[in-house]
Amino acid sequence: MTSVADAPPDATADVVAAGPVKPRRRWNLTLVIGAGLVGLVVLTALVSFLWTPYDPTRVDPSQTLLSPGGDHWLGTDHFGRDIVSQLLVGARTTLFVGVVAVAIAAAVGVPLGLLAATGHRWLSEPVMRALDIVFAFPAILLAIILAAGFGASTLTGMIAIGVANVPVFGRLTRAGAMQVLQSDFVLAARSYGRRGVVLMVRYVLPNIAALLIVQASVSFAHAVLAEAALSYLGYGTPPPTPTWGRMLQEAQNYFVVQPMLAVWPGLAIALSVLGFNLMGDGLRDALDPRLRGR
Amino acid sequence: MTSTPLLEAVDVVREYRAPRRSLRTPGQPIRALDGVSVQVHEGEAFGIVGESGSGKSTLSRILMALDQPTSGTAFYNGQRISGVPERRLGFLRRDVQMVLQDPMSSLNPRMRVADIIAEPMRALRLPGDHRARVAELMHSVGLPEEAVTRYPHQFSGGQRQRIAIARALAAGPKVIVGDEPVSALDVSVRAQILNLLTDLAEQFKLTLILVSHDLSVVRYLCDRIAVMNQGRIVETGDTESIYSDPQHPYTQRLLSAVPTLSGDLLDRFNRSST
Amino acid sequence: MSGVSGLVVEDLVVKVHDIQAVKGVSFEIGRGRRMGLIGESGCGKSLTALALMGLLPHGVTASGRVLLNGRNLLDLSDKEMCAVRGNDIAMVFQEPMTALNPLMRVGNQVAESLRLHKGMSRAAASARAVELLERVQLPEPDRTARKYPHQLSGGQRQRVVLAIALACDPAVLVADEPTTALDVTVQAEMLRLMDTLVREEGASLLLITHDLPVVASICEELLVMYGGSIVEHGDVATVFDSPRHPYTAGLRASTVLESTDGSGRLSTIPGRVPSLGSFPTGCVYRNRCPRADDVCGTVPLLTAPPGSNQRAACHHPIESDQPLGSGKASA
């Protein structure tokens, strides 16, 4: 025990322990299920680039409204197009619209939120009120207006969904940033002259990143739903590109003859929305240090 | 004491506005500081003592130009620092650094220790080898050099406070403002950090400003103190003379309320408050 | 006299998952005695308090015996413990803001305890609540009773918490860092109040804190805890005057900042408190102790020298007139 007795009396004895002492991380079931569902959608979209059972846009009048089974696993629609192929390709549209819409929302909302958090009343008040107005404006209405002006396309759909989500990111960023700006480490940073954009990028953003990631996955779920709604209404991606929303809309007319036509895209939408929501919940728990290791 | 004080506050008033209670009348102003003047001289350890709400932290923020007085002015080395735009405060940002109470919240949890300590040098665009300087600072505060790749949560409270001290020293400051630097630490660690602060102050010829409610810590560390109560300085002078012969009734009451190991607190306190 | 037993704790073990955070602690607080429990963060003092109150969080279990009025509190069901808590044993927490319901008037919070435990009527409980608020020396008790916690100062809130704790005349009052969040002058008032009330009620007090002078101010007896074990026990004045355990001596030196050795530096305890589960085997303090040697690999017993009641768990205790560290072989 001489090494113990000879330990230096002061600072040097206060050495860093071998590692952080933390309880073992447990698997977060919500996150695993959510990420699994999301992964399935992503995989589906990727597979569709390489292979689909049939050309999803190939019309075959001899094979319309087939029931599941046989050569067409999930059957065919009223034009004789293969349902599986349409679902696979539709996942692409869904993901693409979701990614771009969330990117638009975050790219506009986060800087606005940071701007509003800096505290200048004459800056933050107008920004926040403008966001309130956008928030009150329905995304569908915006999409219809854009479609009327520029013609319905995937792009107008994405922009409408993205813009509608800007206030969500703006408000969240402002609230999170205001809290971080109150913290001691920001005070310390100001004491050695950190300010402006660098302070925001190096101190504030990393500390609200978890919040934003969670919001992104929840917004993604909303975007998937909104895209389906727009396609259903005919203000999203135009035919013949398959989307889950339009598959649902077209199935409506043949519901009595072939109800399964509506079930498949409906199931696809429900599962991916559920996946993104669960992933958001799971990420919130996983990224929140207060909830970690319980 | 005829030389120019290093840091000075002249007749500083700081008012906050209470949130409004009705649509017609604006919120009432609250005076956090009510005409405070104080001088801190080069090389001394100056204590600002008071209870919560006394304005001691507000005063320290104004002396660092991290808060602006409603009226009155603060000076550093004879130069005005109140109401000066941030971009012209480079001299102050380099010379005056701070150590805060809670070492967990005063370190950016998303940065590695190496970056935390190098930040002041980067922010102030100081020349030199930052990595070598970080290593040197880790040594100065008694932390192993290899630990620079870790994150703050991987350290104990005392170690985090050492990191905060290393960061405060990074830019080669002349003044360190400690706002309750040892209040959140365990008793046994507190003495280690106090020793470190005194050693470093001597080694780097630092002027110390210590803001604290802990009268024993202030007494140990400071040459001169100002006692604050409700936004005013009620008494200022040499530490020993204030502790041995407090003049102002508030200071007397404050000192009588400090418990000691001899266990005579209630007797003393009863005598002073009746 | 202390002969009448108030609270008896025998071999209390508290486990966090599978790690022993409190390692078989035994002590006794005589009726009307005021006991201090001292320790740094992570020593197990708060877990001990929560175990006495039956308030341990999930995943934390207690075994051993906690005897109060002839019953082992650890054997009681949740429902029985609920009746005991507040009635026979009550607790004051560190942070009065979180101990009070922010949406309930403070008078009602005091009255609730009376209605729950004493079965008082609404009107009687309200009247008694005002009396209690007066006892804890709150100004204008009838007006204060109608206020919400956020309208009171920190010291006033802590008085309300104390009023709730004392509402049913408990035999034992457990106070966990009751004055740590308060200003010095408010702390002194609070300590004076606790001292008065505990004396008047004839209750036993267990005061848990990291602050040695606070214990010195209102306690008679002292337990020093480190690494889940009691390392020293005795009369407050004796222990602080001449600590026998090196840890107590180190704590004392770190507290009394005036005491420096020749170099003008404060004496410190080297290193830091290990995290839960990484304390050394044998004597829990041996990796930081200047006196540690091979013998310290075995667990020391809490014993007193003949003719003394100052017990220390140390193989090399400090004898009265021997300075700290002299037991160490010269380097």
Say whether both C214 and C265 belong to one domain.
no
- CA of residue B38 relative to chain centroid, distance: 14
Say whether both C244 and C215 belong to one domain.
no
C-alpha–C-alpha distance, residues C259 and B144, integer Å: 29
Quick one: average pLDDT of B119-127?
A: 93
Torsion of CA C134, C85, C224, A6, to 10 degrees: -130
Query: Is the CB of B108 less than 8 angstroms away from the CB of A11?
Result: no
Say whether both C191 and C305 belong to one domain.
no
Q: B122 to chain C, minimum CA–CA distance in Å?
A: 32
Tens-digit pLDDT profile for residues C80-105: 888 888 888 998 888 777 788 889 99
Structural domain includes residue C228: yes
Query: Residue A239: which pLDDT band, with cuts at 50, 70 and 90?
Result: confident
Say whether both C157 and C205 belong to one domain.
yes
Query: Residue A41: which pLDDT band, with cuts at 50, 70 and 90?
Result: confident
Q: Which residue has the higher pLDDT, B224 or A280?
A: B224
Query: Residue B114: which pLDDT band, with cuts at 50, 70 and 90?
Result: very high
Where does A27-49+69-288 sit in CATH, by number? Answer: 1.10.3720.10
Burial of C70 (0-12, 13-18, 19+ CB in 10 A): exposed
Q: Are A272 and A224 in contact (CB under 8 A)?
A: yes
Tens-digit pLDDT profile for residues C282-328: 899 998 888 888 899 899 988 888 888 899 999 999 886 555 444 43
Tens-digit pLDDT profile for residues C246-294: 999 989 888 887 656 666 788 888 888 888 888 898 899 998 888 888 8
CATH number at residue C37: 3.40.50.300
Residue B113 has pLDDT above 90, yes or no: yes
ipTM score for this prediction: 0.88
Quick one: average pLDDT of A152-160?
A: 84
In order of A196, C10, C280, C293, the CA distances from A4 in angstroms are 50, 32, 11, 8
- Containing structural domain, residue C85: 7-219
- Per domain, the residue ranges of chain B are 7-273
Using CB atoms, pick whichever of C183, C265, C272 lies closest to residue B195.
C265
- Could you give the number of structural domains in chain C? 2
Q: What is the pLDDT of residue B208?
A: 96
Q: Which of A159-163, B15-19, B64-68 has the lowest mean pLDDT?
A: B15-19
Structural domain includes residue C287: yes
Query: Is the CB of C272 less than 8 angstroms away from the CB of B188?
Result: yes
Q: B95 to chain A, minimum CA–CA distance in Å?
A: 9
Average confidence score pLDDT of chain C: 86
Residue A70 has pLDDT above 60, yes or no: yes
Say whether both C230 and C199 belong to one domain.
no
Q: Which of A173-177, B72-76, B262-266, C283-287 has the lowest mean pLDDT?
A: B262-266
Q: What is the pLDDT of residue A13?
A: 34
Residue A290 has pLDDT above 90, yes or no: no
Where do the H-state alpha helices sit in chain B?
56-63, 90-95, 113-123, 130-140, 157-170, 187-203, 215-221, 239-244, 249-256, 265-273
Say whether both C76 and C194 belong to one domain.
yes
Q: What is the pLDDT of residue B165?
A: 95
C-alpha–C-alpha distance, residues A121 and A21, integer Å: 44
Say whether both C213 and C275 belong to one domain.
no
Last residue of a domain, one of C219, C234, C260: C219
Say whether both C65 and C159 belong to one domain.
yes
Q: What is the pLDDT of residue C207?
A: 94
Q: What is the pLDDT of residue A106?
A: 94
Q: What is the pLDDT of residue C261?
A: 65
Residue numbers in C near B158 (CB within 8 A): 272
Say whether both C133 and C54 belong to one domain.
yes
Q: Which 2-31 residues of chain A touch chain C by CB within 8 A?
A: 4-10, 13-14, 17, 21, 23
Q: Does any CB of chain C come closer than 8 Å to the CB of residue B274? A: no
C-alpha–C-alpha distance, residues C205 and C194, integer Å: 9
Coil/strand/helix, residue C159:
helix
Residue numbers in C near B257 (CB within 8 A): 184-185, 187-188
Burial of A195 (0-12, 13-18, 19+ CB in 10 A): middle
Q: A104 to chain B, minimum CA–CA distance in Å?
A: 26
Say whether both C214 and C252 belong to one domain.
no
Quick one: average pLDDT of C196-217?
A: 91
Query: Is the CB of C216 less than 8 angstroms away from the CB of B52?
Result: no
Instruction: Mutate one of C266, C272, C291 to test the A interface: name it (highest A CB count within 10 A).
Output: C272
Q: Which residue has the higher pLDDT, B120 or A230?
A: B120
Q: Which of A100-109, A284-293, B21-30, C159-168 has the lowest mean pLDDT?
A: A284-293
Sequence-distant (≥ 6) Cβ neighbours of residue C4 within 8 angstroms: C30, C31
Quick one: average pLDDT of C37-46?
A: 89
Query: Residue A20: which pLDDT band, with cuts at 50, 70 and 90?
Result: very low
Q: What is the pLDDT of residue B2?
A: 56
Q: What is the pLDDT of residue B274?
A: 57
Residue A21 has pLDDT above 50, yes or no: no
Q: Are B66 and B58 in contact (CB under 8 A)?
A: no
In order of A120, A125, A150, B69, the CA distances from C144 in angstroms are 39, 38, 66, 36
C-alpha–C-alpha distance, residues A39 and B250, integer Å: 67
Name B14's bridge partners: B33
Q: Which residues of C fall below an 8 Å CB-CB distance to B? A: 40-41, 154, 183-189, 191-192, 195, 210-214, 216-218, 236-237, 240, 250-258, 265-269, 272-273
Query: Percentage of chain B with pLDDT > 90?
Result: 70
How large is the C-alpha radius of gyration of chain B?
20
E strand spans, C58-120: 60-68, 71-72, 89-92
Q: What is the side-by-side strand order in the sheet with C89-92?
A: C89-92, C172-176, C204-209, C34-38, C221-226, C229-235, C311-313, C302-303
Q: What is the pLDDT of residue C258?
A: 66
Q: What is the side-by-side strand order in the sheet with B79-80?
A: B29-40, B7-17, B71-76, B79-80
Q: What is the pLDDT of residue B23?
A: 74
Residue A10 has pLDDT above 80, yes or no: no
Coil/strand/helix, residue C52:
helix
Tens-digit pLDDT profile for residues B176-218: 999 999 988 888 888 889 999 999 999 999 999 999 998 889 9
Query: Roughly how many angstroms between the first and final C-alpha of chain A, as a whole number?
Result: 36
**Strand C172-176 relative to strand C204-209: parallel, antiparallel, unpaired?**
parallel
CATH, domain B7-273, list 1.10.10.60, 3.30.420.10, 3.40.50.2300, 3.40.50.300: 3.40.50.300
Q: What is the pLDDT of residue A46?
A: 86
Say whether both C28 and C94 belong to one domain.
yes
Say whether both C240 and C151 belong to one domain.
no
Residues, chain B, total? Answer: 274
Structural domain includes residue C138: yes
Burial of C297 (0-12, 13-18, 19+ CB in 10 A): middle
Using CB atoms, pick whichever of C154, C214, C257 lies closest to residue B259.
C214
Using CB atoms, pick whichever of A4, A17, A23 lies closest to residue C287.
A4
Q: What is the pLDDT of residue A63?
A: 74
Residue A24 has pLDDT above 70, yes or no: no
Query: Residue A279: which pLDDT band, with cuts at 50, 70 and 90?
Result: confident
